[in-house]
Amino acid sequence: MTMWTDLLGAEVRWIDAGGVRTRVVSAGAHGPPLVLLHGRGGHLETWHRNTSAWAGTHRVVAADLLGHGCTEAAGSEYGVAELLDHATALIDTVLAESGEKRATVVGQSLGGWVAAWWSRRRPEQARRLVLVEPAGLQAEAERLADPRVAAAYEHGGEAFKQVTTETVRLRLRQLMDDESTVDDEMVELRRRLYAADGATAVHRAVRRADNSRWLLTPEWWLEHRVPTLFIRGENAHVPAAVVERAAANSSPVGQVYTVPAAKQWPHYENPAVVNTEVARFLNGGTS
């Protein structure tokens, strides 16, 4: 099996998102829109083990974020503000295409951070949120005070200094609980995307961006009103207590599901479990 057998029946296409040429993969012809946003330094293929599972009941659109993957590098600072503007335009386009007024957004890491802010900017459009190991719950200094996170951050950055098969594999290994699950196809795909003209500059800018005023603080969650499912890896970097506090502060209270034997990419490491839990939540159930 490869990622393209997983995505069999899906359509790769380009859409205009606020004037930005944006690459998406679409699957499913019926149901409300479900938009998938990947994490920092990622690309839409990170969802290849999930897209078809959700396409039976939703119109699924996985997208490359601004300057990521094959989407146009039309930003300057690549902070949350710019990524949010692009994601908002993207979701507006998806809604217009579908004829629907509301969408559910699934965001991982940086994509989750952006998705949360999108729900605050456009609450009338937000049906539900699924946040997979969302970034933005801790300040950078707090995150890097954890030696595990600091080491992963340092090793992960090697792929932006020199793009090789080895450095890209090292970066992907930081995301997995079981490092042996990093497959050669994903390594080669990401190496090619990182080697594209301008890609390294974008990824470095994303790392440098000052997102301090966009933090998802405990107080921020007290004003959150969108039903939200938080998915975390059992051995992930964000402490369970931080995620649980964000969920508890939400109204309605957010659900938290912990995926066993998973780290930063629980949707990739244990897709069967995540696909089932997300489907249950999308259809109005609880974990």
CB-CB contact of 135 with 144 (8 Å): no
CA–CA separation, 139 and 73 (whole Å): 26
Average pLDDT of the chain, as a whole number:
95
| pLDDT tens per residue across all 287 residues of the chain | 689 899 999 999 999 999 999 999 999 988 999 999 999 999 999 999 999 999 999 999 999 999 999 999 999 999 999 999 999 999 999 999 999 999 999 999 999 999 999 999 999 999 999 999 999 999 999 999 999 888 888 878 899 889 999 999 999 999 999 999 999 999 999 999 999 999 999 999 999 999 999 999 999 999 999 999 999 999 999 999 999 999 999 999 999 999 999 999 999 999 999 999 999 999 986 54
User: Which residue carries 């933090």 as its tokens?
Assistant: 215
- Of 210, 70, 88, 40, nearest to 141 by C-alpha is 210
The CATH label, of 3.40.50.1820, 1.20.1260.10, 3.90.25.10, 3.40.640.10, for the domain at 3-282 is: 3.40.50.1820
* pLDDT tens digits for range 21-46: 999 999 998 899 999 999 999 999 99
CA–CA separation, 266 and 282 (whole Å): 18
pLDDT value at residue 1: 66
Domain ranges of the chain: 3-282
Write the DSSP string, 76-103.
SS-SHHHHHHHHHHHHHHHHHHHT-S-E
CA–CA separation, 58 and 94 (whole Å): 12
Contacts of 103 (CB under 8 A, 6+ apart): 32, 33, 34, 35, 91, 94, 95, 125, 126, 127
- Of 128, 135, 7, nearest to 61 by C-alpha is 7
Cα–Cα separations (whole angstroms), residue 142 to 146, 205, 237, 238: 7, 20, 11, 10
CB-CB contact of 216 with 113 (8 Å): yes
- Of 31, 169, 21, 140, nearest to 80 by C-alpha is 140
Sheet holding 59-63, edge to edge: 11-17, 20-27, 59-63, 33-37, 103-108, 126-132, 228-233, 255-259
